[in-house]
Chains A and B, each alone.
Chain A
Amino acid sequence: MIEVNNVSYVIQKKQILQNINLTIPQNSFAVIMGANGAGKSTLLQLMAGSFAPTSGKIMIGGDDVAVLSPEKLSKRRAVLSQKYHLPFALTVQEVVMMGRYPFFKNTPGIIYETIVTEAMQAMDVFQFAQTNYQQLSGGEAQKVQMSRVLAQILDASAQQKKYLFLDEPVSQLDIKFQYQLMHIAKSLTRRHVTVLAILHDINLALQFADSLHFIKNGMLYQSLHHPAEIDIELIHQIFGVPAIKIKNSETNFPFIYFQP
């Protein structure tokens, strides 16, 4: 479970987040949405523990994120950032193996090699295992980075629950892999992983999310624990674009059609 209690964040006298309260149930898939600059990434970074909130508290699996050391956090959660640039040549396998770095000192054991292979296969990048990461296309690189964070959390168990934070994970992926990634993320929730993602595609979110959280101007505008009940007025408020909601009898989620 992730609990955000009254969290505010101020940097250089600018209020980025204000009094955020939200709860993400254990083993669920939560999606954060909002316009550019709303504070989504900052909220994700705070939950992941890369810096501390100005006020308020964030609990992850019952522990205060601010108190956990980087080592302990790294064994508990993985984070996919938006952009990566590697200054030196590494093979895809070497990059994915970094996901296991929190768990070994010098050389990885056989089990870790297996996890890394599994992570690469999940994102269909196993054929690139010995390719130089720097030569990959943007989409391929994003898949490799996803494999890396998967490798970090794939061994989650009932005793060791894990958390996955994804910051716009599908921004560079083609349709097929957008769905593949979402399916993987969703399936992880059945393997003791709690997933939180920032997405821009409302329909992708409606299809997969267990809960939807809308951020506007640094504040939590609304949390939906039954995303299918979304109403178009909310969408208009958040994205500033009129929309219509189309219910489909064949699926249990609605379709949002934007009409700017």
Chain B
Amino acid sequence: MQHFPKLYLFVLWVLLIVTLIMAIALGAVPISLHEMYSAIIQTFKANAIFNMHEAVFIDIRLPRVLLCAITGGILAASGVMMQGLFRNPIVEPGLIGTSSGAAFGASFIFVLATKLPDWLQQLSGIFLVPVFAFLGGVLATVLVYTLAKSAKNVSVTNLLLIGIAINAIALSGTGFLSFISRDPQARSITFWNLGSFAGANWLQVRVTAIVTLPVMLLLMGYTNQLNALMLGDKEAGFLGVHTERLKWQILLLNTAMVAVATAFVGVIAFVGLIVPHIMRLFLGGNNRLLLPASFLCGAILLTVGDIAARLLIAPGEIPIGIITSLVGAPVFILLLKKTQLLQKGGDYD
């Protein structure tokens, strides 16, 4: 369908950079290109002195925008992988338990961290939250997957229904934790369940990037096998794919990425659903191109969403999860309508 895959990726890169610059420039404190430039030059000097605008840029705006872009990329890429794995375009981390499981794992640490031994508490902020988010995410995803799996196949109806059930369990767990917690903890859970980049800092950017880069490189190596999986499990096996092994590897890598992002910014729904769908319309379904393209597109769209989150009710801020859900849910309904028609023609096995 696409004759110039590299051109598409190039266009997406350019769009991403333009979006990032816009996202940095816009806000309560506007930042000019010149200030961005001089601040970046300053950081390479031994004892950098920033004026107010430059400080806002380096310490607040830039980490926020970067974390937002990486998170958007993660969620979209995760959508591509999950949809490929389940052979269905209506799957995303929010629907099959990954996000809510990660949210539960993270709130667990928010509330119970003070009960932990001192040496563990020291680590709690930056390491324990992602680790528990990962454990929660894996647990929920694996539960949904194994429960939805009947004798030989994973039906999508099962998957979504069990996803609802596991999401409900994880949400009530999170709700219970916020109920027994003290007020500031509860507030952070609530706010965080809606997703927000307000607290972004450099450490979070670094941890997220360090996890994302190798995971994305590994996932790129699976794209051909994921294509083969489109033919069906058995048929992919005929092409030399260890299907069960592939599923577990992708599930774990994917959850690692989503859990880290979720641990820092909270639950952001529907990005993983909409972005791959849009990209497929332009580029077709070949995962080799779809995966990197969706990562870039996810980064662009979530950054735009965050601009909206900051500007719509300025100086206040809307949690970004509200915006993505508002835009994403209708798209999800449309997709459901479409795939039901599609399912009558052929069965997913």
- A interface list, Cβ under 8 A from B: 45, 48, 50, 70-71, 73-75, 77-79, 81, 83-91, 94, 98-99, 101-102, 105-106, 130, 132, 152
In the complex, which residue of chain B has the Cβ closest to the Cβ of A84? Answer: B231
Whether A74 lies near B230 (C-beta < 8 A) is no
How near does chain B come to A178, taking the closest CB pair, in angstroms? 22
- B interface list, Cβ under 8 A from A: 1, 83-84, 87-89, 221, 224-225, 227-228, 230-232, 234-235, 237-242, 280, 284-286, 345-349
Whether A88 lies near B89 (C-beta < 8 A) is yes
Whether A90 lies near B239 (C-beta < 8 A) is no
C-alpha spacing A106/B239, complex, angstroms: 15
Set of chain A residues within 8 Å of B242, measured between Cβ atoms: 70
Residue from A48, A84, A99, A132 in contact with B232 in the complex, judged by beta carbons closer than 8 Å: A84
A73, A78, A86, A88, most chain B CB atoms within 10 A: A88
Residue from B1, B221, B234, B240 in contact with A101 in the complex, judged by beta carbons closer than 8 Å: B240
- A87-B87, A89-B1 given; A74·B234 CB < 8 A: no
Residue from A78, A88, A102 in contact with B285 in the complex, judged by beta carbons closer than 8 Å: A88
In the complex, which residue of chain A has the Cβ closest to the Cβ of B231? Answer: A84
Set of chain A residues within 8 Å of B284, measured between Cβ atoms: 88-91, 94, 132
A–B pairs, 6, beta carbons within 8 Å: A75-B240, A81-B234, A85-B349, A88-B280, A89-B284, A105-B224
Residue from B224, B225, B237, B240 in contact with A50 in the complex, judged by beta carbons closer than 8 Å: B237
In the complex, which residue of chain A has the Cβ closest to the Cβ of B285? Answer: A88
A73, A86, A152, most chain B CB atoms within 10 A: A86
Residue from A48, A74, A84, A98 in contact with B227 in the complex, judged by beta carbons closer than 8 Å: A98
Whether A78 lies near B238 (C-beta < 8 A) is yes
C-alpha spacing A251/B240, complex, angstroms: 42
Residue from B89, B228, B285, B347 in contact with A98 in the complex, judged by beta carbons closer than 8 Å: B228
Whether A79 lies near B235 (C-beta < 8 A) is yes
Whether A81 lies near B285 (C-beta < 8 A) is no
How near does chain B come to A71, taking the closest CB pair, in angstroms? 4
How near does chain A come to B28, taking the closest CB pair, in angstroms? 42
What 3 A-B pairs come out closest when comparing CB atoms? A88-B285, A74-B240, A85-B346
Interface residues of A, dominant DSSP? mixed
Residue from A85, A86, A99, A106 in contact with B347 in the complex, judged by beta carbons closer than 8 Å: A85
C-alpha spacing A204/B43, complex, angstroms: 78
C-alpha spacing A99/B284, complex, angstroms: 19
How near does chain B come to A66, taking the closest CB pair, in angstroms? 14
Residue from A45, A94, A106, A152 in contact with B286 in the complex, judged by beta carbons closer than 8 Å: A94
C-alpha spacing A101/B83, complex, angstroms: 21
Set of chain B residues within 8 Å of A88, measured between Cβ atoms: 83-84, 89, 230, 280, 284-285
- A79-B235, A91-B284, A130-B1 given; A102·B240 CB < 8 A: yes
Whether A74 lies near B238 (C-beta < 8 A) is yes
Set of chain A residues within 8 Å of B280, measured between Cβ atoms: 88-89
In the complex, which residue of chain A has the Cβ closest to the Cβ of B235? Answer: A81
Whether A91 lies near B1 (C-beta < 8 A) is yes
Whether A98 lies near B286 (C-beta < 8 A) is no
Whether A50 lies near B238 (C-beta < 8 A) is yes
How near does chain A come to B340, taking the closest CB pair, in angstroms? 14
Set of chain B residues within 8 Å of A90, measured between Cβ atoms: 227, 230, 284-286
C-alpha spacing A15/B22, complex, angstroms: 67
Whether B286 lies near A71 (C-beta < 8 A) is no
Set of chain B residues within 8 Å of A152, measured between Cβ atoms: 239
In the complex, which residue of chain B has the Cβ closest to the Cβ of A79? Answer: B238
How near does chain A come to B294, taking the closest CB pair, in angstroms? 12
Set of chain A residues within 8 Å of B228, measured between Cβ atoms: 98, 101
How near does chain B come to A138, taking the closest CB pair, in angstroms? 10
- A101-B224, A132-B1, A132-B284 given; A86·B231 CB < 8 A: yes
In the complex, which residue of chain A has the Cβ closest to the Cβ of B233? Answer: A50
How near does chain A come to B163, taking the closest CB pair, in angstroms? 18
C-alpha spacing A99/B228, complex, angstroms: 9
In the complex, which residue of chain B has the Cβ closest to the Cβ of A100? Answer: B239
C-alpha spacing A94/B3, complex, angstroms: 12
Query: A87-B285, A90-B230, A98-B227 known; 10 other A-B pairs, CB under 8 Å?
Result: A70-B242, A74-B238, A87-B89, A89-B284, A91-B286, A94-B286, A98-B231, A101-B239, A102-B239, A152-B239
How near does chain A come to B143, taking the closest CB pair, in angstroms? 23
C-alpha spacing A86/B227, complex, angstroms: 10
Set of chain B residues within 8 Å of A83, measured between Cβ atoms: 346
C-alpha spacing A77/B240, complex, angstroms: 10
Whether B238 lies near A86 (C-beta < 8 A) is no
In the complex, which residue of chain A has the Cβ closest to the Cβ of B245? Answer: A70
Set of chain B residues within 8 Å of A101, measured between Cβ atoms: 224-225, 227-228, 239-240
How near does chain A come to B202, taking the closest CB pair, in angstroms? 34
C-alpha spacing A102/B239, complex, angstroms: 6
C-alpha spacing A87/B237, complex, angstroms: 17
C-alpha spacing A35/B243, complex, angstroms: 32
Set of chain A residues within 8 Å of B286, measured between Cβ atoms: 90-91, 94
C-alpha spacing A50/B242, complex, angstroms: 11
Residue from A73, A87, A105, A106 in contact with B348 in the complex, judged by beta carbons closer than 8 Å: A87
Whether B230 lies near A86 (C-beta < 8 A) is yes
C-alpha spacing A74/B199, complex, angstroms: 50
